[in-house]
């Protein structure tokens, strides 16, 4: 845990790491030589195959069962299949992918010598650049592109500077969040936490990352989080699983894209707010990193809205439900926080010894990563290795990894399907197989790779969240996306 804290506090815009994983190293004479095997599976008949796979993925099976059944069918964690969105209206999207579903094969997605990440954030489908001011923001750039170096270094520098206020702003907004929830519990008997949590996250992140106070604009203060929700939804609907009310999602959500025009006014309001209230950050992007004003603002909005706000809006509710549904785990967390933190305010230093808290956060990320899918395109012909076979991959083929299965690899993790709260206390060597951040947890983001610039901040923030909750409460009762009771510490 101390390693992560040290990296966070010494993070520099020039940090970089090798993009290759130890899992993809050349076999030594002592290792077993694996057999070369043709990649199993198929893409089916044109039109019919992709549509059939899309319906299985979204409707008849769901994402996890979709991949599990094919692993069983082909007796392989590497196989060919189709991933949505697909025909008939996505005519410029090629749904053909090679699925990689074990830790060893999945690790190839981070080797920038053999794969590229140009325009493959959500597969072969790419939302219109109108959503990002007619520019390709950092998430769609490959490390080989000069612009990626500029924007990635700017992103890391922005996060490093935000560390001065990150903890204090987060704790201040957490206090508002839990005060609000307590009031609702007192008056209504329960409190749905999702909207108050999103408001908390939006205010905290815009202050920390942009250096702007949302209170300067009534519109942004009241509706900024909703503006980002809508902006995110229109970009991701074609690839997002919505299992209820079928076949309506297949007809209205997964068959075509929605135009940027529907959120144009909201996005322009956010842009103008950052332009006016985040002048210092915008100026730094231009003078220190060679970006235009437009490139700086659109990338800041993507970092704020897509990467940070969007990611936390998925991950923290998962963390709440995981802890809230386990009273014994709550007791253990409370005991550790009481023993090691006491009444000391959570800080970078004071939380580093909360080993169980860190382990719980890591285990939640292992079982439920905020971004379930990762993609990469073969930069050249190469041999891809799974645990038991070698496969020939051709230049231009798209690789797809479903992280919920990858990080349940039984050859790496004991009891992989179950939540084990102390898993990463007992074996921190497993962190190199924790891939939620577009790279191993032991890696470092840099201009030469696509690892999340804020990966250490995500873990830190989640640890702070848990520490704050169990300093304030002995326990809380969770039921179906709502907090129904809290017991003060």
Residues belonging to the binding site for heme are: 452
Helices (H), 385-454: 403-406, 423-426
Cα-based distances in Å from 23 to 58, 257, 414, 437: 32, 38, 18, 17
Residue 154 corresponds to which tokens in the numbers above?
């700017």
By three-state DSSP, how is residue 289 classified?
coil
Say how far apart CA 83 and CA 44 lie, in whole Å: 12
* Binding-site residue set: 452
Residue 393 corresponds to which tokens in the numbers above?
């991959």
Identify the residue whose tokens are 């709550």. Answer: 330
Strand partners, 192: 482
Give per-residue burial for 237-246: e unless 16+ CB within 10 Å, then b: bbbebeeeee
Helices (H), 305-427: 310-324, 327-340, 355-367, 403-406, 423-426
Residue 118 corresponds to which tokens in the numbers above?
């140009």
- 3-state helix/strand/coil string of 203-238: HHHHHHHHCCCHHHCHHHHHHHHHHHHHHHHHHHHH
Q: Taking Cα atoms as reference points, which of 83, 87, 94, 85 lies closest to residue 47?
A: 87
């Amino acid at each position: 845990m101390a390693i992560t804290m040290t990296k966070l506090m010494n993070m520099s815009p020039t940090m970089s790491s090798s993009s290759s994983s130890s899992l993809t190293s050349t076999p030594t004479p002592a290792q077993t030589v694996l057999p070369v095997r043709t990649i199993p599976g198929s893409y089916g008949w044109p039109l019919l195959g992709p549509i059939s796979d899309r319906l299985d993925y979204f409707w008849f099976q769901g994402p996890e069962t979709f991949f599990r059944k094919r692993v069983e069918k082909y007796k392989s964690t590497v196989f060919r299949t189709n991933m949505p969105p697909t025909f008939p209206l996505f005519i410029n999207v090629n749904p053909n992918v090679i699925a990689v579903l074990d830790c060893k094969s999945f690790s190839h997605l981070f080797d920038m010598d053999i794969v590229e990440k140009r325009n493959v954030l959500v597969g072969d489908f790419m939302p219109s650049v109108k959503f990002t001011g007619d520019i390709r923001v950092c998430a769609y750039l490959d490390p080989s592109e000069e612009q990626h170096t500029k924007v990635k270094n700017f992103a890391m520098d922005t996060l490093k500077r935000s560390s001065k206020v990150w903890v204090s702003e987060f704790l201040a907004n957490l206090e508002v969040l839990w005060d609000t929830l307590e009031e609702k519990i007192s008056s209504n008997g329960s409190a749905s936490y999702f909207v108050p949590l999103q408001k908390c996250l939006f205010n905290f992140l815009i202050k920390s990352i942009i250096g702007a106070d949302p209170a300067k604009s009534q519109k942004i203060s009241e509706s900024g989080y909703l503006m980002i929700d809508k902006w995110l939804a229109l970009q991701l609907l074609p690839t997002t699983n919505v299992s209820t009310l079928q076949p309506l999602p297949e007809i209205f959500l997964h068959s075509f894209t929605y135009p940027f025009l529907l959120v144009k006014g909201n996005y322009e309001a956010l842009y103008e707010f950052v332009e006016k209230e985040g002048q210092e950050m915008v100026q730094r992007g231009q003078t220190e990193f060679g970006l235009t004003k437009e490139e700086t603002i659109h990338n800041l909005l993507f970092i704020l809205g897509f990467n940070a706000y969007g990611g936390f809006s998925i991950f923290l509710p998962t963390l709440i439900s995981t802890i809230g549904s386990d009273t014994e785990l709550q007791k253990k967390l409370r005991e550790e926080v009481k023993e090691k933190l006491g009444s000391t305010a959570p800080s970078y230093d004071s939380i580093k010894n909360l080993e169980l808290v860190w382990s719980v956060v890591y285990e939640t990320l292992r079982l439920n990563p905020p971004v379930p899918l990762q993609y990469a395109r073969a930069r050249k012909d190469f041999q891809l290795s799974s645990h038991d076979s070698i496969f020939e991959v051709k230049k231009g083929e798209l690789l797809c990894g479903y992280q919920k299965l990858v990080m349940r690899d039984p050859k790496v993790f004991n009891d992989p399907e179950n939540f084990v709260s102390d898993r990463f206390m007992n074996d921190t060597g497993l962190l190199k197989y924790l891939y939620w951040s577009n790279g191993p947890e032991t890696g470092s983001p840099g201009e030469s790779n696509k690892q999340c610039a804020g990966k250490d901040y995500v873990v830190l923030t989640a640890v702070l969240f848990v520490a704050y909750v169990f300093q304030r409460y002995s326990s809380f009762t969770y039921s179906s996306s709502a907090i129904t009771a809290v017991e003060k510490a």
